[in-house]
Chains A and B, each alone.
Chain A
Amino acid sequence: NAGVMQNPRHLVRRRGQEARLRCSPMKGHSHVYWYRQLPEEGLKFMVYLQKENIIDESGMPKERFSAEFPKEGPSILRIQQVVRGDSAAYFCASSPPATSARAQYFGPGTRLTVL
C-alpha cells in the first residue's frame, strides 16, 4: 500500500509564475490536508478537503492560493503569481473516511523555491 505521494519534490519558480503542487492520498483515504512549513518555523495548517469539497480553509492566505480535491485525480494546491515569501515546504497529509478522530499520514513534501 503506497503512502501519500507528492510531486514534484522540488519546484523552482520565478516571481510572478504559478506553482502547482500535487498530492495523491493513501489508498482508501478520502480526506486531504495541506500544511506549510516556512524556514525555521513549525508546520501551519492551510486547508482541509474531502472529495470535491473544501471543509476548512481557515489557514489559507486570502489571495493567490487555492486548493481542490476533484472526484478523480490528486489534490492540487495552486499558488498564483508567486512571491519570495511563498518559498517553503508544503506537506500534504491524508486520513481515512472515519467519523471519529483519525490519524494523518504525511507525504514527503514539496519544497518550493521562488527566485
Chain B
Amino acid sequence: GIQVEQSPPDLILQEGANSTLRCNFSDSVNNLQWFHQNPWGQLINLFYIPSGTKQNGRLSATTVATERYSLLYISSSQTTDSGVYFCAVERGNDMRFGAGTRLTVKP
C-alpha cells in the first residue's frame, strides 16, 4: 500500500514562531488532507488539497502532486495550535494517514 511519511515527528515552538510541516507519499494520490488533532483528541479537517496552494488565516498548505509531497505552514503560532497534525492521502478507496507531527507551542 501507499506509504505516508511526516516530518518532523516532534516540534516545539515558542509562541509567535513560524513552522513548516512536511508530508511525503510514495505513489500518486487523488486526495490529500491535513488534519489537526487537538490535545482533547478532537480531529479537525484543515485542508482538502490534492494539488495547489490554499490559505486559511495563519495556515496555508501546498501540495506538489508530481513530486509527491505536501507542506503545511503555520505562521505566528499560538498555544492553541498545539496538538498532532496528520496528513492523509487517498488512492481509490484506500486512505492512509501519516504518523503525525506533534506540535507543542509554548507561551
Contacts and interface: CB of A to CB of B under 8 A. Distances in A.
Range for the number of chain B residues in contact with chain A: 20 to 34
Interface string B79-107: 00000001010100111111110000000
* Secondary structure dominating the interface of A: strand
A104 B94 contact: no
B56 interface: no
B90 A109 contact: no
* Secondary structure dominating the interface of B: strand
Contact of A42 (B42, B44, B98): B98
Given A42-B97, A101-B50, A104-B33, A91 B90 contact: no
Range for the number of chain A residues in contact with chain B: 20 to 34
A109 B93 contact: no
B45 to A, nearest CB: 6
B41 interface: yes
